[in-house]
Amino acid sequence: MRLTTKGRFAVTAMLDLALREAGGPVTLAGISERQGISLSYLEQLFGKLRRAQLVDSVRGPGGGYTLAKVSADISVADIIVAVDEPVDATQCGGRENCHDNHRCMTHDLWTNLNTTIFDYLSQVTLAGLIDQQRTKETNVLQDKREAGAHRRACAESVTGAA
C-alpha cells in the first residue's frame, strides 16, 4: 500500500484541528508548530480539504479553520480521498498491466486488499480518533498522578521511619 506523507499529514492535521476547534478557528501556523508539518504544505492540503468541503476557512483576526461537518461524519477515507491520495496496493495502479503489459496473477489479491483497506478507513472517523487521543491523554495524566502519589508516599515513609 502506498499511503504517502500527504495522506498521513492530512489525517494528522485534521485530527489536530478537530481536537482544538472548540476554542474557535485553528490556525495552520499552530498546527504546523504542534505537528512539525511545514506551513506551505499545510496550506496546499487545506486548500484541497476545503474544496472537498471537509473544512471551512474563517478570515480575519482570530481566523483559521474549522471542520465543515461534525467529526463523526468525517472518515479517514474522506480525508485521504480529498488530498488525492491513492490507496492502492497494486503495482500497476489498477491498470492491469504490471506483468509484461498484462494482468498479473495476484491482481485480484491486491485489488481486494485495496477494498478492505478503504472500507476500514471509511469506518474510522475523526470522532473515534478524538476519543482515542483523549483517552490516551487521560491515561498519561492519571499515570503521572499515581507516580507522584507513590513518590510522596515513599518519601513520607522514609522520613517517617527516620
Output DSSP code: residue 128.
H
- Give 70-116 pLDDT, tens digit per residue: 999 999 999 999 998 777 777 776 677 776 777 778 888 888 888 89
Please say if the pLDDT value at position 161 is more than 60.
Answer: no
Indicate the pTM of the whole model: 0.78
pLDDT value of position 59: 92
Position with higher pLDDT, 68 vs 153: 68
What pLDDT is stored for residue 2 in this prediction? 61
- pLDDT band, very low/low/confident/very high, at 133 (cuts 50, 70, 90): very high
The per-residue pLDDT for 50 is 97
Instruction: Identify which of 47, 49, 48, 57 has the alpha carbon closest to the alpha carbon of residue 27.
Output: 57
| Structural domain count, the chain | 1
In 21-125, alpha helices (H): 28-35, 39-51, 76-82, 107-123
Domain assignment of residue 116, yes or no = no
Q: Looking at residue 69, which CATH number applies to its domain? A: 1.10.10.10
Asked if 125 and 71 count as a contact pair (C-beta separation under 8 A), the reply is yes
Position 147 in a domain: no
Cα R_g (the chain), whole angstroms: 22
Look up the domain containing 25 and give its range: 5-86
Q: Classify residue 128: in a domain, yes or no.
A: no
Residue 50 belongs to a domain = yes
Task: Extract the C-alpha cell encoding 155.
Answer: 518519601
Q: Would residue 103 count as lying in a domain?
A: no
What whole-number distance in Å separates Cα of residue 36 and Cα of residue 31? 8
Q: Strands (DSSP E) along the chain, which ranges? A: 55-58, 64-67
CA 32 to CA 60: how far, in whole Å? 19
Q: What whole-number distance in Å separates Cα of residue 97 and Cα of residue 61? A: 53
| Cell representation of residue 87 | 490507496
Mean pLDDT along residues 19-39 = 96
Q: Given this model, what pLDDT does residue 94 score?
A: 67
Please state, rounded to an integer, the average pLDDT across all residues of the chain.
87
